[in-house]
Amino acid sequence: MSRCEVCFRHCELSEGQTGFCGARICRDGKVVAKNYGRLSCIGFDPIEKKPLSRFYPGSMILSVSSCGCNLRCPFCQNSEISWSKEALFSVEHLDYVSPEQLVSCLPAYASRGNIGVAFTYNEPLVGYEYVRDTAKLVREQGLKNAVVTNGTAELSVLAEIAPYIDAFNIDLKSFSADTYKNILGGDLRTVLDFITEAHRTAHVELTTLIVPGMNDTEQEMRELSSWIASLDKDTVLHISRFFPRFHLTDRPPTDVRLIYRLADIAREKLRYVVTGNC
């Protein structure tokens, strides 16, 4: 048996066995990324779509993704490449794009305002080796790297990629340890530690999707925004509106008035609060 050290799950894997995330496998007695270079999507997005509102606003960024995720959010917005049955089956069948091949494409986007590469859509850190290797080459081209992540990775993983990452958008899905454990299949402490350390080396913005009945109370927003402010009151918080998706279709979209109310509460502590999907 070999132990995966990427996230709090620490999956113990026998030879040929795939971990919970669907992206890591035990080969020759070592746990490696079976999704390395296997890209499910390449897009070209406004930086604000990540969302990053105070990192080179108005620019564009090449967005890449693979498959796999170590959470199980029932409202997943990218389930087709994250943790649906199709996603977990298709990882090794995706087209292979090496870091060198990806970086060789970047000059073609220069005239369109591209500033670099964003690793996004699925959970990129379950295959952090590809992020690390590609981001290093992107930096050598004088361009920027951004990572959009759930933040549920060990600090050893962050240490591997931190020298090359310029910006993170990290999901802070709730400020309840019970919600993380029982609804999302995650660990709040891991996320808070990841955010704290990422803030030391890169530009960090946070996103909280407000799901009715899960994390939509004023009290929770006060606790969440107070914790962020204790880290840095200039940290950007994106508060986004939920729409029924994937396995969570038994409740309505979040009331827009509630989003604005929670944003006002967050602004009592934070300088930059952005509402989304309203």
CATH of residue 137's domain is: 3.20.20.70
Q: Buried (b) or exposed (e) across 32-54, using 16+ Cβ within 10 A?
A: bbbbbbbbbbeeeeebbebbbee
> Measuring CA to CA, which residue among 77, 129, 121, 70 is closest to residue 99?
129
pLDDT of residue 109: 95
The per-residue pLDDT of the chain, averaged, comes to 95
Query: Prior bond to 74 cis, omega within 30?
Result: no
Beta-bridged to residue 145, according to DSSP, are 117
**Would you give the DSSP letter of residue 171?**
E
At 259, is the pLDDT very low, low, confident or very high (cuts 50, 70, 90)? Answer: very high
Residue type, 93: H
* pLDDT of 65 higher than 90: yes
C-alpha R_g of the chain: 18
Q: Is the pTM of this model over 0.85?
A: yes
Instruction: Provide the number of structural domains found in the chain.
Output: 1
Beta-bridged to residue 203, according to DSSP, are 167
The encoded tokens of residue 228 equal 């962020």
* pLDDT of 278 higher than 70: yes
> Measuring CA to CA, which residue among 134, 109, 110 is closest to residue 43?
109
* pLDDT of 205 higher than 80: yes
If you search the block for the tokens 């859509």, which residue do you land on? 121
Domain that residue 175 falls in: 2-276
Coil, strand or helix: which one is 21? coil
